[in-house]
């Protein structure tokens, strides 16, 4: 083991600590900037919600998020987005907003909900489903869920 000692005046020691702190702050800022840049790139890599017309378009849209789904939807339903949404919709609207979907823009409009079975959920759980809400060939919402009693609900991004 090698130990080195040195005598330094307090003034130089204080300047050295300040310089080291400044260097650390710069490194943290640089790392934060790179992580934010990485988020922008991944956000721009998301599929376009427009032009989703056919079953194959829906499957391709979901595969862009990494999901493998059954060839045909489990169910297709026409839904009416409520004109006014009460507090029971707060969490659901927040989930959709976090993905860039603004369901309040579609209040009072009819949408189609396509439900597909997910074949590659990361935990290996079976029975997981993914919903896509589509209005006039545009994806306006979506989520991945487990219909089990103790199930889960999250956005379209792969966990």
Q: Are residues 89 and 133 in the same domain?
A: yes
Q: Are residues 37 and 78 in the same domain?
A: no
Q: Are residues 33 and 63 in the same domain?
A: no
Q: Are residues 105 and 129 in the same domain?
A: yes
The parent domain of residue 33 ranges over 9-45
- pLDDT at residue number 47: 79
At 61-115, the pLDDT tens digits run: 999 999 999 999 999 999 999 998 888 889 999 999 999 999 999 999 999 999 9
Q: Does 16 map to a domain?
A: yes
Q: Are residues 24 and 61 in the same domain?
A: no
Q: Does 116 map to a domain?
A: yes
- Best-predicted range by mean pLDDT (19-23, 39-43, 44-48, 154-158): 154-158
Q: How many domains does the chain have?
A: 2
Q: Is beta strand 110-117 parallel, antiparallel or unpaired with respect to 129-135? A: antiparallel
> Environment class of residue 147 by beta-carbon count within 10 Å: exposed (0-12), middle (13-18) or buried (19+)?
exposed
Tell me the pTM: 0.70
At 26-64, the pLDDT tens digits run: 333 334 333 333 333 344 467 787 888 899 999 999 999
């Amino acid at each position: 083991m090698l130990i080195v000692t040195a005598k330094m005046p307090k003034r130089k020691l204080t300047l050295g600590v300040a310089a080291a702190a400044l260097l650390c702050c710069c490194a943290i800022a640089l790392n934060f900037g790179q992580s934010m840049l990485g988020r922008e790139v991944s956000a721009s890599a998301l599929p376009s919600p427009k032009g989703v017309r056919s079953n194959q378009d829906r499957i391709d849209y979901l595969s862009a998020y990494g999901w493998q789904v059954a060839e045909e939807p489990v169910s297709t339903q026409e839904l009416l987005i409520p004109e006014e949404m009460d507090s029971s919709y707060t969490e659901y609207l927040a989930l959709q907003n976090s993905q860039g979907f603004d369901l309040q823009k579609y209040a009072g409009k009819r949408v189609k909900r396509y439900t597909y079975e997910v074949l590659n959920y990361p935990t290996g759980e079976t029975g997981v489903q993914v919903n896509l809400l589509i209005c006039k060939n545009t994806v306006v919402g979506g989520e991945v869920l487990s219909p089990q009693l103790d199930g889960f609900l999250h956005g379209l991004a792969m966990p």
